[in-house]
Amino acid sequence: MNSRVSQKIAFTVLFLSALVTILPVLLIIVVIVKNGISAISWEFLTAAPTNGMRSGGIFPAIVGTFYLALGATAISLPLGVMGGIYLSEYSKDNMFTRILKLGIVNLAGVPSIVYGLFGLSLFVIYLKFGVSLISGCLTLAIMELPSIITATQAALHSVPRSFREVSLSLGATKWQTIRHSVLPHALPGIITGAVLSNARITGETAPILFTVAAFYLPHLPSSVLDQVMALPYHLYVISTQIPGISKSTTYGTALVLIVFTLSLNLFGIILRTYLRRQKKW
């Protein structure tokens, strides 16, 4: 076999592999858009479900998911960033911190249903928050924490060591150095990491299943102790529990969920591109 033939074979195999990986994703989007687009209307996006959720809209679920995403990030972002700063800048490199860091990396791989059950036992039952917005936000926040900590550490790590040396050599304290010479330059990476991990948890069903999600709740929550409807759970409910629901309603809900998370992702990517351009070294 001459080199030109082997080159062609290699190219074909690699190209097909790439195609096979992207194909399911494209198919999912095509099928959902094709079946769901007809359901999308102003009423669908702004009204509460009616007629046993067979008609009406999904407004409460959209708002619920929005609250959950916002609340989870409001809790996990400051905690995760501060934890990341401690681990990356302050902690000594010893057995304990190495195990801790390994644990955090592994937490990102824990199945989401485990987070859901953990949230149920700690927030809902033990802390008596009940099935509520606050329990759901806390559960999602815990799920989001590992990736925010990891993103923070990576972003801090990418700031040149020389910035720290320069700052310290000018008589700045360690905290001043981190605050003024390290954190500002790590911020793009941290924010991007947070947005992307937020997009990931937004679509999760298992963590909210026992902690916050309402089967049917046509009005909006009035306090953090209220339940809310959420898009992923609503989709699960209408696809499995509601007989005789129109196909377009189900697919329309899926379309809204996908657009919701994809726009978060897109926002993260645009933000990253923008902030990277601002980076000057």
Partner 1 sequence: MVETPKVKIQANNFNVFFGKNQVVKSLNMEVYSNEILGIIGPANSGKTTFLKTLNRLNDLDDDFRMEGSILLDGRDINSQFDVIDLRKKVSIIFAMPLPLPISIFDNVAYGPKMHGIKKGLDEIVERSLKAAYIWEEVKDRLHESALNLSGGQQQRLCIARSLAIEPEVVLFDEPCSGLDPISTAKVEEAMMELKKKYTIILVTNNVKQAARVSDRVAFFLMGELIELDSTEKMFTNPSNKKTIDYISGRFG
Question: Is the CB of 118 or the CB of 163 nearer to partner 1?
Answer: 163
**At closest approach, how far in Å is the CB of 132 from partner 1?**
45
Phi and psi at 55, nearest 5°, equal -140, -170
Binder among 74, 166, 266, 270 for partner 1 (CB under 8 A): 166
Is residue 38 near partner 1 by the rule CB under 8 A?
Answer: no
Distances (CA, A) of 13 to 4, 5, 181: 14, 12, 48
Interface with partner 1, residue 170, by CB under 8 A: yes
Residue 35's H or E segment, with its range, is helix 3-36
Residues found in the chain = 281
Stretch that binds partner 1, among 29-37, 76-84, 141-149, 171-179 (CB under 8 A): 171-179
- 280 is a site residue for partner 1 (CB under 8 A): yes
Residue 215 vs residues 51, 188, 208, 212, 232: alpha-carbon distances, Å = 14, 38, 12, 10, 11
The angle, 0 to 180 degrees and rounded to 10, between the axes of the packed helices 95-107 and 133-157 is: 120
Residue 40 backbone dihedrals phi, psi, to 5 degrees: -70, 120
The residues with which 228 forms a beta bridge, in sequence order, are 213
Q: Which stretch binds partner 1 (CB under 8 A): 9-17, 31-39, 109-117, 176-184?
A: 176-184
Indicate whether 281 belongs to the interface with partner 1 (CB under 8 A): yes
CA distances from 76 to 121, 129, 146 (A): 19, 18, 9
For the bound state, the minimum distance from the C-beta of residue 82 to partner 1, rounded and expressed in Å, comes to: 21
Range 99-103 contact pairs with CB under 8 angstroms and sequence separation of 24 or more: 101/153
In the numeric block, which tokens belong to residue 127?
């802390």
Give the closest residue to 255 by CA, choosing from 62, 108, 118, 86.
62
109 binds partner 1 (CB under 8 A): no
Nearer to partner 1, 54 or 272 (CB): 272
Ranges assigned E (strand) in the chain = 49-50, 55-56
Of residues 24, 171, 243, 244, which one binds partner 1 by CB under 8 A?
171
Instruction: Please report whether residue 90 would count as binding partner 1 according to CB under 8 A.
Output: no
Write the interaction track for partner 1 spanning residues 65-84; mark x where CB under 8 A is met and - where it is not.
Answer: --------------------
Smallest gap from Cβ 162 to partner 1, in A, equals 5
Segment interacting with partner 1 (CB under 8 A) among 54-62, 64-72, 148-156, 180-188: 180-188
| Structure token digits, residue 21 | 């990986």
Q: Which is nearer to partner 1, 40 or 168 (CB)?
A: 168
Encoded amino acid at 62, one letter: I
Residue 152 CB, nearest approach to partner 1 (Å): 20
If binding is defined by CB under 8 A, does position 187 make contact with partner 1? Answer: no
| 213: its two tokens | 């999600």
The interface region with partner 1, picked from 49-57, 139-147, 158-166, 223-231 by CB under 8 A, is 158-166
- Could you tell me how many residues of this chain bind partner 1 (CB under 8 A)? 21
Task: Write the burial class of residue 89 (CB in 10 Å: 0-12 exposed, 13-18 middle, 19+ buried).
Answer: middle
Q: Does 163 bind partner 1 (CB under 8 A)?
A: yes
Binding site for partner 1 (CB under 8 A): 92-93, 162-173, 176, 180-181, 185, 279-281
